[in-house]
Amino acid sequence: MAVAGPKAYVGNFKDNTVSAIDTATNKVISTIPVAAGPHGMAFTMDGRWLYVSSDGSSVLNLIDTATDKVTKTIEVGKTPHGLALTPDGKLLLVAVNGEDNIAFVDTGSQSVVGSISVAKPHTIAIRPDGGEAYVSSQEPGHFSLAVIDLASRTLARSIPLDKPPRDLEFAYTGKAVYFTEAGINAVEVLNPKSDKIVAEIPTGVSPHYVKFFANTKYGMAVVQGPGELLLFDPERNRPAGSIKVGMQPHWLAVLGNGKTAYVTNEGSNDVTVVDLGSSKTVTIPVGNAPRKVAVQPVSGDLKVSIANFTFVPLEARIAPGETITWSNDDGSPHAIAFKDSSAGSETLFPGKTFSRTFDQPGTYDYYCSIHAYMTGRIIVRPI
């Protein structure tokens, strides 16, 4: 079937299926059988492959998004929960809840290449520069956020919590970690430089998933009790409004252009499509108990954020003819210079952008000509 837009994939927890939605028409175009209890989801950087963990089994399902079929299963250990892909796309982290560890899957060989002990891991967030991963650990009596150094694959430290952590996500800028805890009606805002909670954003009963996405003005959280999508100001850490969705919302994903959100409603077996400009909504029936949702990366829609004196992501992959836009989201001026001496940018003051279209396949290394230790890479190849 011809698809007009990128696809959104929804894990139907009680049906053991994944629904594929054409985001241009908001119609379910295929239903994909997977192993029991689809839980975590993560796309490869080019959007061609989707990993789905199944917590009623011990495997990851690898879905080919060109055919919407499972082409491979990868054994990772009992009860895999959350998934997270490193910014360079080379490593997938799996929260193996039933084995009390984080498994490392090499995306080239599609095999487990290592693990590290973390008690009752649930979800994973990787710092946008790829240096560390934060894991929500739900060990009874010892709730915490475990921090993993990804270079050495060792446990760097643990941040104790009073309540079980639910979801945690980095803001796309890397300046904050947002997380929710069972029994606390607020979004916790953690500064990753100090590992201290610096703010609480009040919510309704039972907030779950929360994130500040690229290309959006507000951060977002799904709040299960009132069945709403909460918008918050990420600068002042205050609520900025809410939009009614379905019953018991569980997760959300946003299209790459930042204009549309997809919210799964576990209690009403549907997905709410939210126009973030007008707040208008559309409802799409899916399977039984939809939990996770992931939206396919959009070709030609890539933004590189300059934040905290780092390019985020450090490595980007696009097809020939596509465009990269650098946005200076930092407090200092920067400038893009390419190591092959091709044309770069003028000085980018905070809030300014620079775009370049890459027509020829190849690897393009670049740096900030003002701060030469800041480096990045663009890989251009047919997808």
Task: State how far Cα 248 lies from the chain centre.
Answer: 21
Gap between the terminal Cα atoms of the chain: 19
- Give the residue with greater pLDDT, 96 vs 172: 96
Name the average pLDDT for the chain.
Answer: 93
Do the Cβ atoms of 222 and 208 come closer than 8 Å?
yes
Please give the average per-residue pLDDT across 103-125, as a whole number: 97
363-370: long-range contacts at Cβ-Cβ below 8 A with a sequence spacing of 24 or more?
364/338, 364/340, 365/338, 365/339, 365/340, 366/336, 366/337, 366/338, 366/339, 367/337, 367/339, 368/306, 368/334, 368/335, 368/336, 368/337, 369/335, 369/336, 369/337, 369/344, 370/332, 370/333, 370/334, 370/335
Model's pTM, two decimal places? 0.82
Query: Which tens digit of pLDDT belongs to each residue from 30-77?
Result: 999 999 999 999 998 778 899 999 999 999 999 999 999 999 999 999
Model confidence at 300, pLDDT cuts 50, 70, 90, reads low
Percent with pLDDT over 90 in the chain: 80
Q: What pLDDT is stored for residue 1 in this prediction?
A: 47
DSSP string, 229-265: EEEEETTTTEEEEEEE--SSEEEEEE-TTSSEEEEEE
Q: Rounded to an integer, what distance in angstroms lies between the CA atom of residue 288 and that of residue 13?
A: 7
Helix (H) or strand (E) holding 156: strand 154-160
Residue 319 has pLDDT above 90, yes or no: no
Residue 322 has pLDDT above 90, yes or no: no
Q: Rounded to an integer, what distance in angstroms lies between the CA atom of residue 136 and that of residue 118?
A: 9
Do the Cβ atoms of 188 and 200 come closer than 8 Å?
yes
- Give the residue with greater pLDDT, 251 vs 298: 251
Give φ, ψ of 244 to 5 degrees: -70, 135
Do the Cβ atoms of 154 and 148 come closer than 8 Å?
yes
Residue 192 has pLDDT above 50, yes or no: yes
- Where on the phi/psi map is residue 166: left (φ > 0), alpha (ψ -120 to 50), or beta? alpha
Model confidence at 303, pLDDT cuts 50, 70, 90, reads confident
Residue 146 has pLDDT above 90, yes or no: yes
Model confidence at 4, pLDDT cuts 50, 70, 90, reads low
Q: What pLDDT is stored for residue 257 in this prediction?
A: 72
For the ranges 192-201, 298-307, 365-374, the lowest mean pLDDT is seen at: 298-307
Query: Which tens digit of pLDDT belongs to each residue from 16-29?
Result: 999 999 998 999 99
Instruction: Name the token pair of 342.
Output: 């091709």
Q: How many residues does the chain have?
A: 383
Domains annotated for the chain, with CATH where assigned, are 7-295 (2.130.10.10), 302-380 (2.60.40.420)
Q: What pLDDT is stored for residue 55 in this prediction?
A: 95
Residue 301 has pLDDT above 70, yes or no: no
Residue 347 has pLDDT above 80, yes or no: yes
Residue 3 has pLDDT above 70, yes or no: no
DSSP string, 5-62: S-EEEEEETTTTEEEEEETTTTEEEEEEE-SSSEEEEEE-TTSSEEEEEETTSSEEEE
Do the Cβ atoms of 331 and 364 come closer than 8 Å?
no
Q: What pLDDT is stored for residue 110 in this prediction?
A: 95
Percent with pLDDT over 70 in the chain: 97
Residue whose entry in the numeric block shows the structure tokens 């930092």: 330
Q: How would you classify the pairing of strands 49-54 and 38-43? A: antiparallel
Residue whose entry in the numeric block shows the structure tokens 């919590």: 161
- Where on the phi/psi map is residue 136: left (φ > 0), alpha (ψ -120 to 50), or beta? beta
Q: Rounded to an integer, what distance in angstroms lies between the CA atom of residue 227 and that of residue 267?
A: 9
Instruction: Name the token pair of 143.
Output: 């709730």
Do the Cβ atoms of 246 and 237 come closer than 8 Å?
no
Query: Which tens digit of pLDDT belongs to each residue from 196-233?
Result: 999 999 999 999 999 998 778 899 999 999 999 999 99
Q: Rounded to an integer, what distance in angstroms lies between the CA atom of residue 206 and that of residue 131?
A: 31
